[in-house]
Amino acid sequence: MEPIAYVGNDHLLYVLDAPDAAARCLTSHEPRGAFTWPVWAPDRAAIAVMRRARDSDRERGAVELRAAADGAAQVLWTAREGGPVFLHWAPDGRRLGMLVQEADTLYLLVADRESGATETLLSGAPLYWAWAPDGSALVAHVGGRHRPGHDARVALVRLDGGAGTPETLDDRPLGFRAPAWEPAGGRVAYAAATDAEGRALVALDLATGRRDVLAPVGRAPAFLWAPGGGRLALARERSEAGLYEGLSVLDVASGAARRLPQRVLAFFWTPAGDALLCVGVDAAGEMLTWERVDVASGDARVLARFAPTQELALLLGHFDQYAPAVAFYSRDEPVLLFAHDSQDSRHNGHTTEHAGLWLVTDAAPPTLRPLAGGSIGFFAP
């Protein structure tokens, strides 16, 4: 199984090289540190992490790289009056994308891993983005839903061989969050108003400029490419209660869509692309559930009930942005990793004293095991 990076209940950064191995603290010499959001580099040699850095008599947000072997630190960015919001490595590992806040403004920064040099690419709010599969460019959704007098747009920024100047791809985006760049492909999916005053999910081929309307959507859809491309998991609209309706798997070439009955808070693809991991609400409305849904048969089974930690709740609320950046599900074994914030002393028959990380085997029946105390953690890619 892949190594796991996590933040313990003491707010320090740990690595588990295997589930049964002793945890290694990468920040043990900083007992008063406050770290969160560990994100593995694609080569597993480093972990990007947010922290609260002390400067004289005040604390400021910062982004650091920590060597996975010994915790050696490299500071990439320190806030003047704000902090980091989201981190996402380019697939080739050369650059780290950082969404940060200074005062009341969000900025998209890109840091070069070797030199540590940081460049500001975009600003605006809200701001979401996706990397090109080769890390040479990114596409961003800036400004939310289009309305008169606002600078909402979908923009492309080329980093290799380009001037780094944003190019507007569409100036009529809907209220979706993150655009989705097809893995190993040149198509970008986003939601926009159409010429006929409709609302649609579209795919733009950046090489040819061809723009295909894929499916009608509501005002605030969410969508994720399957790991191999060619298919999109699509939730057409979000209800006032925050649940996504109309979940389906769309074959882009044929236009065929398989409807799924789930009403979900969030959804993620398994690495093999054979199933969706859906987060829903249990029948009593007291807990959330992880449910595995086979996309071919529609068969579903509940893997675990849980109460998300604060960090996991934030991630689930913006899951379409986080899905390409972190790994909940092992590529080596059918195992799901999640954080649970216990409201009492027991969870699914097991005793726990703090917020903790759990592994659940994706099998029938699923098997749960506590892993470590902590608030958030992810598998290495």
Query: What are 118's strand-pairing partners?
Result: 111
pLDDT band at 103 (very low <50, low <70, confident <90, very high): confident
pLDDT band at 52 (very low <50, low <70, confident <90, very high): confident
CA 341 vs CA 238, 314, 352: distances in Å: 25, 13, 9
pLDDT at 119: 92
pLDDT tens readout for residues 200-244: 999 999 999 999 999 999 999 999 999 999 999 999 999 888 899
Query: What does the pLDDT average to over 351-370?
Result: 86
pLDDT at 345: 39
CA pair distance 85, 103, nearest whole angstrom: 13
Query: What does the pLDDT average to over 50-73?
Result: 86
What is the chain's mean pLDDT, rounded? 92
pLDDT at 347: 44
Q: What is the DSSP letter of 312?
A: H
Please tell me the least confidently modeled range out of 67-71, 182-186, 229-233, 277-281. Answer: 182-186
Q: Is the pLDDT of residue 268 over 70?
A: yes
Query: What does the pLDDT average to over 281-297?
Result: 93
Phi, psi of 312 (to 5 degrees): -65, -35
pLDDT at 30: 81
Q: Is the pLDDT of residue 350 over 50?
A: no
Q: Is the pLDDT of residue 348 over 60?
A: no
CA pair distance 145, 350, nearest whole angstrom: 45
Q: Where are the beta strands (DSSP E) in 295-345?
A: 300-306, 335-340
Which residues lie below 8 Å from residue 125, measured CB to CB, with a gap of 6+?
A: 104, 105, 106, 143, 144
Are 331 and 269 contacting, i.e. CB atoms less than 8 angstroms apart?
Answer: no
